[in-house]
Chains A and B, each alone.
Chain A
Amino acid sequence: MPHGLSPGGVSRRDWFRATAATAAATSAATAATPGQRAGKPALQVATNCEMCFWRCGALAKIQDGRVARIEGNPQHPLTLGRLCARGNAGHQTLYDPDRLKRPQLRTGARGEGRFQEVSWDQALDWFAARLTELKNKYGPESVAYLPHGASSGFFGTVMKAFGTPNSAEPAFAQCRGPREVGYALTFGRGVASPEPLDLANARAVVLIGSHIGENVFTSQVTQFSEGLARGAKLIVVDPRFSTAAAKADHWLPIRPGTDIALLLAWINVILSEELEDKEYLAKYAQGLDDLRAHVKPFTPEWASAETELPAGLIRDSARMMAAAKPAVVVHPGRHVTWYGDDTQRSRAMAILTALLGAWGRQGGILLPTTIKRGSFKTPPFPESKRGRADGAGTTYPLASEELGVSNGLIEATLTAKPYPIKGWVVYGQNVLESIPQRERTLSAIRLLDLLVVVDILPVEQTLYADLILPEATYLERYDAPHIVETAARPFISVRQPAVPPMYDSRPGWWIAKAMAARLGLEAWLPWKNPDEHLAKLIEPMGISLGELKARGAVAFEGRPTIEQRIEADGPLFPTESGKIELSSKLLKEIGHDAIPVYRPPADPPPGWFRLLYGRAPVHSFARTENNALLNGLMSENTVWMNDHSARDLGLAAGQRIVLQNADGNESLPISVQPTAAIRKDCVYMVHGFGQQAPGLHKANARGASDNALISRVAIDPIMGSTGMRVNFVRVKPEVQS
């Protein structure tokens, strides 16, 4: 509008506008990038996501001091700017009104939920005093550490320095432990996380129970889809017609628990039809003859009876994957603690991978490339004379001493053997949902002198805690960087705060430093701030701190295939024999089968179903159900039941039922989802719902918890993991009034 224009000159208004625009442009160039909404300049911080453990590259966009939006970081070498639903919703956890806001000391009975807010000084002084008491009375080993997540490592250092070797994450015995052990027994190294699967280049993908799509790790989905788009064949073994099964060339709706039979039959077909990668095996493997002899009887016809799959389908699928060798990904799975024979099943999968020549090959499973890291000089951790209490290395000979056996710690707490466990520090995990046999966990908690919970939300276990410490969310804190060696291009990605911590929450590193100071353990955390820690860590990497923090992630050259390996990368197969061990001497030595042996599972009695569980793409475990956005996408789970079974039971879609297991445990009410997409002998539900935490206003008592129905477990004797798919449930008969 030309009003206000004086002849021959620019009006003051226009002049001001022009200068304002210049000022904005200047600031944009230095500190901000073009904005989010309404053209306002928005600051963005590159970090990585912690809505699950995959830690995708994220850009937090800040407006008016708040994280307004999170988008993928295109500079992240693995996730390439893509984020799943949870990643997009991260700020809703940051702004969850239910968050733990201040340290709280319990004033009522355990489970009663009465607390008193205290200052951090009071809280940590109290915490340190209790730890010292326990140390003096029972020894430092009497304190167990149950951590999860990127920020828990700092406090882990404090616990080790304090003198306890007892640390256990559910990541091992409730998740990927059997896989790590099974693959390490075969190839000399485990699969590790994130799994270095070359899905984008695979010409055949074999999923055994893996439900990619329902289970979303961003880059894994991207590569899986790319592979499919390029024409990769897909074989899916699942009692359920999963998202992946719908895309499969062969869907094998297997009888639950008979996977080893199928795997042995596949191996039988490959070896008997001479479809294996002969050159590869001759060069790198030992024990092929033993294997050939072992699988001889396990024909597809034999397996058909066990697995309830047509022999032809077994044969065709074996031929399909063999035709694609060596570019075949036999997905090693992730949560593989199913039936107690899980290490052996993983072994069978590893052997199949080896026969196809896919380990260390493009389109198969890639090899890690070491990234050199700098470190501070710190004193060695004190050695415990009494050893670990969880059975790692003793009761469970091949269990990881790094990750630990959480159910072993609970056992030790309950039995006080080999020595009493009197204190737990639970950090970032939800032991009542992540570890099966809730009742045993609760019994163990009742025996404790000290339970400290560090968390973000008032999950159920906080009701039992003596002290609750509110941690800052991942968007408010620095964490140890994510250093990933198991990728085609290894990389480092940083976690840095987008906004300062809300309420009276504190980042994990601060809590660790503050506790170390109180316990006199500063020597083990010799850095002043996270920047100093990070700078030391990346010293040998040849990158600058500023660049890393600005870009969020920096990638390095990788040598992921056998052909690319150099001497500095160490032995190809760091097994005892230096070769792929198709037959394991070590397993034989410790009294187990050198080659996997199939043992038939028990079938559910009539009227009962095997309880299967899995994931939804919009939720992570039991962590995100209270997130406003994600809760809006999925606020409760349903129980999938074969439509014929449902009809026989007279159940209609959406009808709310209560499930009951063989021990009489009951679920919360849950809606029935009759579907053709599941076998008649099992039911399925998404894990993470049915929480009983009144402080979680959106998640409390929504849907049913599978964990509440998992009162029985099958312990893997090799490494102690808890097989959880051994519970049978039925629909609780209605009580007529």
Chain B
Amino acid sequence: MTALFPLSLSTGAFVFAAIALGFFFGFFLERAGFSSSLKLTAQFYFKDWGVLKVMFSAIVVACLGLAWLSLAGIVDFSQIYVPDAYLWPQLAGGLLLGAGFILGGYCPGTAVVAGAIGKLDALFFLGGIFAGIFGFGLVEPSIHSFNVSGALGPLTLPQWLNISHGVGAFALAVIALGAFWAAENSEGKWQLFRKTYGREQ
């Protein structure tokens, strides 16, 4: 039997699906409170573990779901897009994005949601994104060799560790559960950081 998923969609259905899926994406981001830069940055001050909880529970659900459905033959995992790994630029890009995050209070996706409900700072952040991307486009030719360094192709962690995908997914779930447990038991209890950031407590 050929796998049912992913679907091949006509243009109209594709556009409709994209908007509908985006709708739920935006909806849940807003529900999670990610439309607030205060809530988002609170993660980095160890006051609110929402970012970690939301992000990892989403990853675990999707990851286990995909793994299970592909084991069941319902989804053809080889047809699922896995981002190409570029070790160095991704490391650097992560640092930049993290810095921009703590400086601007949002990341690109959350900024859209925040802007949508009227956060003015998010609108500025969005403007910044366009400027940043444009700027990157300007300098990319001169840093092109760095931009494509460390290319590993669509590598996944299980492939890299030479374990099966299902085991990898399961391991991730276990690690995430551990992290959740740690987060639940530590919210507001981290002495070191309470001292550093404690004024607001």
Contact = CB atoms under 8 A, between A and B. Distances in A.
Contact of B81 (A1, A8, A13): A13
A13 B75 CA distance: 13
Interface in B1-29: 8-9, 11, 14
A384 interface: no
A6 B14 contact: no
- Residue among B79, B80, B83, B148 with the most chain A CB within 10 A? B79
A6 B154 CA distance: 11
A9 interface: yes
Given A1-B9, A6-B83, A6-B84, A12 B14 contact: no
B86 to A, nearest CB: 10
Given A1-B9, A6-B84, A9-B84, A16 B14 contact: no
B9 A12 contact: no
Nearest to B8: A1
Contacts of A3: 14
Interface residues of A, number: 10
Nearest to B82: A12
B160 to A, nearest CB: 15
B152 to A, nearest CB: 12
Interface in B67-87: 78-84
A11 interface: yes
A11 B154 CA distance: 9
A11 B81 contact: yes
Interface string B78-113: 111111100000000000000000000000000000
A13 B79 contact: yes
Interface string A304-330: 000000000000000000000000000
B84 A4 contact: no
A3 B78 CA distance: 16
Contacts of A12: 78, 80-82, 154
Interface string A1-23: 10110101101110010000000
A124 to B, nearest CB: 40
B95 to A, nearest CB: 21
A66 to B, nearest CB: 16
A13 B80 CA distance: 7
A1 B14 contact: yes
A8 B153 CA distance: 12
Contacts of A13: 78-81
A225 B11 CA distance: 53
A6 B80 CA distance: 13
A16 B82 CA distance: 12
A185 to B, nearest CB: 66
Contacts of A11: 81
A181 B24 CA distance: 89
A494 to B, nearest CB: 35
Nearest to B79: A13
Interface in A342-396: none
Nearest to A16: B78
Nearest to A1: B14
A1 B8 CA distance: 9
Contacts of B9: 1
Contacts of A9: 84
B39 to A, nearest CB: 31
Interface in A1-51: 1, 3-4, 6, 8-9, 11-13, 16
Nearest to B148: A8
B197 to A, nearest CB: 39
Contacts of B148: 8
Nearest to A3: B14
A13 to B, nearest CB: 5
A1 B9 CA distance: 9
Contacts of A6: 83-84
A16 B83 CA distance: 14
A1 B81 CA distance: 13
A16 B78 CA distance: 7
Contacts of B154: 12
Contacts of B83: 6
A6 B14 CA distance: 18
Nearest to A12: B154
Interface string A404-422: 0000000000000000000
Contact of A16 (B8, B11, B79, B84): B79
- Residue among B8, B80, B154 with the most chain A CB within 10 A? B154
A12 B80 CA distance: 8
A202 to B, nearest CB: 54
Contacts of A4: 81
A677 B75 CA distance: 64
B159 to A, nearest CB: 12
Nearest to B154: A12
A348 to B, nearest CB: 66
A4 B9 CA distance: 13
A16 B3 CA distance: 14
A3 B8 CA distance: 11
Given A1-B8, A4-B81, 9 more contacts: A1-B9, A1-B11, A6-B84, A8-B148, A12-B78, A12-B80, A12-B154, A13-B79, A13-B81
Closest 5 CB pairs of A and B: A12-B154, A4-B81, A16-B78, A13-B79, A12-B82
Interface of B: 8-9, 11, 14, 78-84, 148, 154
22 contacts: A1-B8, A1-B9, A1-B11, A1-B14, A3-B14, A4-B81, A6-B83, A6-B84, A8-B148, A9-B84, A11-B81, A12-B78, A12-B80, A12-B81, A12-B82, A12-B154, A13-B78, A13-B79, A13-B80, A13-B81, A16-B78, A16-B79
